[in-house]
């Protein structure tokens, strides 16, 4: 039996005749920051949706801590220890920042009641640097602050595995550096991280291993250096110029 925290075994997700994810087998050990990259439409978000129960696998298995969670619904996946953020950040606009995070804690069963959920929310807001904005309406936050709110919501689920979907999209260089520091800080608490990312700077600087999807298929997996020099990845995603530059900087 694999000792991985997350095991995907021959996972396929089809929508009608289209296979958005096709026969993906992948293992993520505890404690890793694992990157998932690939062109637009490669199936990255669909794979995250399969892991979190939004779209159950058509065939194959998803194992979490050795337990078959393939048919889990999103709330069951959350309560098993699988948290996530979303690429398009949409907090509940009519709620305050702390209420948004408390709602996540309650959804995942990470708090037994509203008071405990608010305490848990405040803890995570302090961690991500939003404690002073706790009572602000979520709709008033900047994009960078909404991204941090999204991270706080994920952390409020008390996850063992946290999946980041394009958490750096739309941020400037300074904000990206701050987000990278936050990702590292989360990993240091013992949370395993799976990050979907288009920015190779981010992937290469924080990830211990990387997997690459193309047309729904897993075409490569390994260390950052192994992936950026893989001919299939160069052809499908990176291009020869980037690969040459990445090799030179390695």
- H-assigned helices in the chain: 44-51, 74-80, 97-107, 114-128, 143-155, 173-188, 200-206, 224-228, 231-233, 240-249
Q: What is the pLDDT of residue 156?
A: 93
The mean pLDDT of the chain is: 90
What are the tens digits of pLDDT across the range 179-220? 999 999 999 999 999 999 888 888 888 999 999 999 999 999
Q: What is the domain partition of the chain in residue ranges?
A: 6-81+159-249, 90-158
Find the mean pLDDT for residues 229-238.
85
Q: Two tokens at 207?
A: 């990830």
What are the tens digits of pLDDT across the range 9-62? 999 999 988 999 999 999 999 999 999 998 888 999 999 999 999 999 999 999
For the cut 70, the answer to whether the pLDDT of residue 80 exceeds it is yes
Q: What is the pLDDT of residue 241?
A: 60
Contact 157, 83 (CB under 8 A): yes
| DSSP code, position 9 | E
Q: What is the pLDDT of residue 250?
A: 47
Q: Which of 66, 104, 69 is nearest to 84 (CA)?
A: 104
| Band of pLDDT at residue 242, cut at 50, 70 and 90 | low
Q: What is the pLDDT of residue 243?
A: 55
Q: What is the pLDDT of residue 240?
A: 63
Second CATH level (architecture) for the domain 6-81+159-249: 3-Layer(aba) Sandwich (3.40)
| Band of pLDDT at residue 109, cut at 50, 70 and 90 | confident
Q: What is the pLDDT of residue 1?
A: 38
Starting at the edge strand found earlier in the chain, the sheet holding 67-68 runs 18-28, 6-15, 59-64, 67-68
């Amino acid at each position: 039996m694999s000792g991985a925290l997350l095991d995907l075994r021959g996972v396929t997700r089809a929508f009608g005749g289209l296979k958005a994810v096709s026969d993906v087998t992948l293992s993520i050990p505890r404690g890793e920051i694992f990157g998932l990259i690939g062109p637009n439409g490669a199936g990255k978000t669909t794979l995250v949706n399969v892991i979190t129960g939004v779209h159950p696998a058509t065939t194959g298995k998803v194992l979490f801590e050795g337990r078959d969670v393939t048919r889990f619904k999103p709330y069951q996946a959350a309560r098993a220890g699988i948290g996530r953020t979303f690429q398009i950040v949409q907090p509940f606009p009519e709620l305050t920042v702390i209420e948004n995070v408390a709602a996540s804690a309650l959804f995942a069963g990470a708090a037994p009641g509203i008071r405990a959920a608010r305490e848990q929310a405040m803890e995570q807001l302090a961690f991500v640097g939003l404690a002073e904005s706790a009572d602000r309406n979520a709709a008033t936050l900047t994009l960078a602050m909404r991204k941090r709110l999204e991270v706080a919501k994920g952390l409020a689920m008390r996850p063992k595995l946290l999946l980041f979907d394009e958490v750096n999209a739309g941020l400037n260089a300074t904000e990206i550096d701050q987000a990278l520091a936050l990702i590292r800080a989360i990993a240091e608490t013992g949370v395993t991280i799976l990050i979907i990312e288009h920015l190779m700077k981010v992937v290469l600087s924080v990830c211990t291993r990387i997997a690459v999807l193309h047309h729904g298929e897993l075409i490569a997996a390994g260390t950052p250096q192994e992936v950026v020099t893989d001919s299939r990845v160069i052809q499908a995603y990176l291009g020869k110029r980037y690969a040459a530059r990445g090799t030179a900087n390695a």
